[in-house]
A and B are shown apart, each in its own frame.
Chain A
Amino acid sequence: MVPNVASQTADSRPPPLREPFTKAFRWMLLARTLDDKLASLYRAGKIHGGVFLGRGHEALAASVGLALRPGDVYAPLIRDLAGRLAFGEPVLDVVRTFMGSALGPMRGRDGNVHRGRPRESLLPMISHLGAMISVVNGVLFARRMKNLSGFVGTTTIGDGGTSTGAFHEALNQAAVEKLPLVLIVANNLYAYSTPTARQFACRDLADKAIGYGVASHAADATDLAACQEVVGRAVGRARDGHGPQMVVARLLRLCGHGEHDDASYVDPRLRQSPEGRDCLKLAEQSLLDHGWAEARQVESWREEAVQEVEAVVAQVQREPTPDPFAEDWRALSSRHLAGVYPEY
């Protein structure tokens, strides 16, 4: 039996709680502030390579990051900045990787969203979509072999990524092995420029979960309270031993694929639709409506976020860049073998 809890209505949900909602909002705010700074650094020519932002994805991502505990596994995708920060990735790691600091976790060898700390269960994504799902499966599989329990692993995929063979293979694998995987599908209506009508023909991406014997959960990704409730439930079920869970969340990406992309292909009607609403603005309004924060308070949080980001950027701008003459140009960790292979 595959429970499909997609039909649960907004009315039957428990009301949001002040503390987790506020916490998530602040991570969203920090992520948006950092994204805005990265965009302006890109325009100023201070960042080499691509800049990929998470505008519009913050509610979903922050909900994931906060639902995870130390010891859980997280393989974020390109628009998961809010989730990364909530999971514990320092702002310093983000800025160092985008700006190519030699002191960052990737030391200039990889950039922008391709960062992580595998030893701390934050896995660095590769560009090939769907490829991280089975890697998360592997970490979970190994932990079970070591008789550990109580952990979950989470990764994100987009609407386009659900068309890959890797997605199919890995979700099926997780179901067969009954792994505590929570797969977040961020259906942001476009895979780069390709609309969902050219991506899949099923009624709803949640239907794909049924085919694998995986429980699915639907969420409105513009609604922070809904995201927290749905993601929290999915993570809880995986943690309690109910096997892999898939969350399908709908939203509209509020930026280009990267900062090089003006997203002119987005149907203007979608921008005016419920999916086109800005989750950060909605969450802020919700805070004010509930009387959980005053406008002045939100403003001071925003100011705090700006100051944190500015301080980190100022620090990283003074840091050394990687030195090709000091670089260790060996790809093997077995040093004795790397030495056998002469480089020309």
Chain B
Amino acid sequence: MSITYLEAIREAQARALADDPRVFIYGQDVGTFGGAFKATKNLMKEYPGRVLDATLSEDAIVGLAVGAAIEGMRPIVEMQFADFSTVGLNQIVNQAATLFWRTQVPCPIVVRLPSGGTSGSGPFHSQSLESVYAYWPGLVVLTPATVEDAYSMLLEAIALDDPVIFCEHKLLYYHLKADRLPTEALPVGKARIARQGRDLTIVAYSAMVHEALAAAEELAPEGSQIEVVDLRSIRPLDTDTVVASVARTGRLLCVGEAWPWGGVTAEVIARVASEGFGLFDAPPQRLNAKDTPIPFHPHLWAAHRPTARSVAAAARKLLRQ
């Protein structure tokens, strides 16, 4: 038996619905249809009255979730695509993110963002917005890269008292598989060493972890041992694990699928430079998507995002410095 990343997300929601009567799911087409990607397939049938189709109103969807959270519920909001969450941005960053700090009343909502590029999806169905949400204090931002993390981190997100932006990568939905669901997991807030190495650290998250691992594989025959750190959680950011890795390797390459201006890769480098500048044997580097909207055509799209090949090229260059 095997389970996909997408099925893990569905199973985590099913388990949360079964275990906690406060949990409900609210989003566009999540009911009978089971969601645009089928992440809520059959859940409405299994949990009647707790999986509800929403109007096409991202602002009001999140606002309703905040109100329900104030009333003691644990809503899970599915945005049909991460891109559309910008319509609900106001409620997420001004309402959900400030509520606890202003009133001491927590706001336990999870907003699921089907994130990242897939070939042919174009500028408005491909965005990675984790850096945007990580900017606001009061939010937790998670970026699972594995089937196990998709399951365990979503369950932990639902259990957390704070608003969580759960960035699940659409490219991983179907092709990433595991033998079984995990029974134990690293907690939210801890990064994971996805591959050990001594020559260079690649920090990545979400789908880019797999590009980084493939790049490491490509570089191995050349005699380079690459360490890959999977951040798992963008906010909080586990700087300690990254600094410890750079202390071993002396070289840092940060890879993100989001745009280059600011963001996660810049934040990681800023923190490591601040805390461990003396650990660097070469200037830290970062690799992001190109600084344009995300193109539709597969030829353009494949060149727009970092890939195993471009990660390997950037790593080679850094290893020579």
Contacts and interface: CB of A to CB of B under 8 A. Distances in A.
Interface residues of A, number: 47
Interface string A141-185: 111011000000000000000000110011011001000000000
Interface in B60-92: 60-73, 75, 87, 90-91
Contacts, number: 148
Contacts of A143: 71
B236 A337 contact: yes
B212 interface: no
Top 6 A-B residue pairs of the complex, sorted by shortest distance between their CB atoms? A138-B67, A134-B63, A169-B57, A142-B71, A169-B60, A331-B137
Given A145-B24, A172-B60, A137 B67 contact: yes
B138 A126 contact: no
A127 B49 CA distance: 33
A136 B60 CA distance: 10
A342 B63 contact: no
B59 A165 contact: yes
B105 A334 contact: no
Interface of A: 105-106, 109-110, 114, 116-119, 123-124, 126-128, 131-143, 145-146, 165-166, 169-170, 172-173, 176, 331-334, 336-338, 340-342, 344
Contacts of B90: 128, 131, 166
Contacts of B57: 134, 169-170, 172-173
A93 B75 CA distance: 30
A146 B23 CA distance: 12
Interface residues of B, number: 52
17 contacts: A119-B105, A126-B98, A128-B94, A137-B67, A138-B65, A139-B71, A146-B71, A165-B87, A166-B90, A169-B55, A170-B60, A331-B138, A334-B140, A334-B160, A337-B189, A341-B235, A341-B236
B91 A139 contact: no
Given A110-B102, A145-B73, A337-B189, 18 more contacts: A109-B101, A116-B103, A127-B94, A128-B90, A141-B64, A141-B67, A141-B68, A165-B87, A169-B55, A169-B59, A169-B60, A170-B60, A173-B54, A331-B97, A331-B98, A334-B162, A338-B236, A340-B237
Given A110-B102, A134-B91, A173-B60, A337 B70 contact: no
Contacts of B235: 341
Contact of B70 (A118, A173, A340, A341): A118
- Residue of A116, A138, A166, A333 with most partner-chain B CB within 10 A: A138
Nearest to B274: A344
Given A143-B71, A145-B24, A337-B189, A106 B60 contact: no
Which of B24, B72, B102 has most chain A Cβ within 10 Å? B102
Contacts of B95: 126, 131, 135
A89 to B, nearest CB: 14
B102 to A, nearest CB: 5
B103 A176 contact: no
B83 to A, nearest CB: 17
